[in-house]
Structure 1
Amino acid sequence: MRSSRIRDAAVAGSFYPGDPEVLRVTVDRLLADAPLSPDGAPTPRAVIVPHAGYIYSGSTAALAYARVARGRDAIRRVVLIGPTHRVAVRGVALPGADGFRTPLGVLPVAEEWAEERLAGVPAACIYAETHQWEHSVEVQLPFLQRTLGDVEIVPLLAGDATGDEVADVIDALSDEPGTLVVISSDLSHYLPYEEARRVDAQTIAQIGALDGPLDHLQACGATPVNGLLVAARRHGLRPELLGACSSGDTAGDRERVVGYCAFAFDEDDDG
């Protein structure tokens, strides 16, 4: 039995509140303010959510997590894939950890299970350093804790990898019932407000048409998003736009904005 290896929170107190009670209230308020899902809306197979500070993108992320919350009794494991902002990696990296800590507690990592599933996937690797200070996965965890409880997670960071390589990782980890895939990505960065709206509208249209690949000027998480688009085409998943905005709509000025969107992916009944 390996000794416990816990990845501690790196951005609590900056991207989201570090005080447990304030964090709980903040996430619950964001979820409560999200529109109710339509009657009969299925539990998503996958979602795309932003990863900026909660004051900027939390309301957009909540649109997807409110839909995820409907599957609290059905979702047993969450595969999260974000981009690397600090430490580069070739391929798609596991953290080499048994748990990820947030102010709300520790989520267990299905590390050994994932290692076994990914043993034959060339792009998969273990690289703790790229996870140590990365925020793209971490900011999703309090939302999961408030919607799904102490759900088992597989945190991954995609660096230098093709869409097909990321899709192979998704396929290896998501074929069991009760698995949710969470793709973490913002959209355009630091464009003037109206230009960002035009660029992001094109990006959103491409995601809706499963028309990849995106580039990293369109989305900082283009690599994991491209993997999901490939996997969605392989398996007949249908994207639904839940909402989009930019930091110019939430808590920032409109001179240099960052764009956000939320998508849910479900099985295509017409496929």
Structure 2
Amino acid sequence: MTQSTPRIRPAAVANMFYPGSSTVLASDLRRLLAHTAHPPAPRPKAIIAPHAGYVYSGPIAASVYALLEDWRDRVQRVLLLGPTHRVAVNGLAVPAATSFATPLGEIPVDQEALAAIAHLPQVVVSDAAHAPEHSLEVQLPFLQTVLTTFTLVPLAVGRTSAAAVAEVLECLWGGDETLIVISSDLSHYLPYAAAREIDGDTARHILALDPHLDHQQACGATPVNGLLLAARRHGLHAKMIDLRNSGDTAGDRSRVVGYGAFTFSAESGHAH
């Protein structure tokens, strides 16, 4: 076979950000999800979840993923957007790979969805942008655990505008079958008290659907801002599910990373 593109994007950060053993990973995820309060809530159209190693941000991510379990058979397609950390890219990068692998199995990339956004100038094809990227990958085992079967639209967001992100979301917005997941951590490497103050302020902006976050407030500011623009246009209500930092989960409070979990739903308040 000649130098053709690998069709599977293999897991790059298993054994680093989360366990590489499928049995250990599955049991860790079950434990994380079981330890969350699970009040009845409206069906989320979109969520924001953090993307650090599970020992740091796993409990915060689990708090929002647990809410999806009630809709596990409804969601058929996941638009997953996260910032690029390792490879610079202009625009939003989709992979040429046709599936993403984790220790829990393979997830097919939604070719129909990619075809629907291929005409947009901000959408580029880059396996290189996806190959080492953890911001999307760490969300996949959670999604594989709380959903039944789904296709994936993986978008690695580089240098682009919130409006350009919102345009992609608009193209693929869909109905109940489509879930939007934005992967972002909040403040980075501040002392505990400062992080709490800054992350609290960031959370207020997110809850107000104010699409003007900067990258000091959230590493995924660009995809988050794009979602906030789209959420505002669609009349969604934001709700904070959890807001903590690595000082709460893994100890050291001298330099912490902030993590927030949020849902965006058509209805506000609780389902009756």
Tell me which interval the TM-score lies in, with the shorter structure as reference length.
over 0.9
- What CA distance in whole angstroms lies between the structure 1 residues aligned with 2:85 and 2:48? 18
The aligned counterpart of 2:98 is 98
Q: Compute the displacement of 1:227 (Å).
A: 0.5
- Map 1:1-271 onto structure 2 (within 5 A): 5-38=7-40, 41-110=41-110, 112-268=111-267
- What CA distance in whole angstroms lies between the structure 1 residues aligned with 2:39 and 2:268? 18
Q: Compute the displacement of 1:119 (Å).
A: 2.8
Q: Compute the displacement of 1:150 (Å).
A: 3.4
Secondary structure of 2:100's partner? strand
Q: Deviations over 1:164-213 (max 9, x none)?
A: 10001111112243100000000000000000001001000000001121
- What CA distance in whole angstroms lies between the structure 2 residues aligned with 1:264 and 1:176? 16
Matched AA of 1:17: P
**Contact 2:5–2:96 (Cα < 8 Å) also in 1:** no
How many correspondences in the alignment?
266
TM-score normalised by structure 2 residue count: 0.95
- What CA distance in whole angstroms lies between the structure 1 residues aligned with 2:268 and 2:27? 37
Q: Compute the displacement of 1:268 (Å).
A: 4.0
Secondary structure of 1:48's partner? strand
**Contact 1:108–1:150 (Cα < 8 Å) also in 2:** no
Secondary structure of 1:262's partner? strand
Q: Deviations over 1:134-183 (max 9, x none)?
A: 00000000001111133211111111111110001111112243100000
Q: Compute the displacement of 1:103 (Å).
A: 0.5
- What CA distance in whole angstroms lies between the structure 2 residues aligned with 1:212 and 1:263? 15
Long gaps (5+) in structure 2: none
Secondary structure of 2:32's partner? helix
How big is the alpha-carbon RMSD for the aligned residues of Structure 1 and Structure 2?
1.5
**Contact 2:42–2:267 (Cα < 8 Å) also in 1:** no
Q: Compute the displacement of 1:26 (Å).
A: 0.2
Matched AA of 2:26: R
Q: Compute the displacement of 1:37 (Å).
A: 2.4
Identity, % of aligned pairs?
54
**Contact 1:241–1:263 (Cα < 8 Å) also in 2:** yes
Matched AA of 2:261: A
Deviating 4+ runs (over 6 angstroms): none
Long gaps (5+) in structure 1: none
Matched AA of 1:147: V
Secondary structure of 2:27's partner? helix
**Contact 2:82–2:223 (Cα < 8 Å) also in 1:** yes
Out of 122-131 and 18-27, give the one that drifted further: 122-131
**Contact 1:37–1:66 (Cα < 8 Å) also in 2:** no
Q: Deviations over 1:99-149 (max 9, x none)?
A: 100011111111x21222103322111111010000000000000111113
Secondary structure of 2:44's partner? coil
Secondary structure of 1:61's partner? helix
Secondary structure of 1:202's partner? helix
Secondary structure of 1:15's partner? coil
Q: Compute the displacement of 1:3 (Å).
A: 8.6
**Contact 2:45–2:176 (Cα < 8 Å) also in 1:** no
Q: Deviations over 1:49-73 (max 9, x none)?
A: 0000000000000111011111111
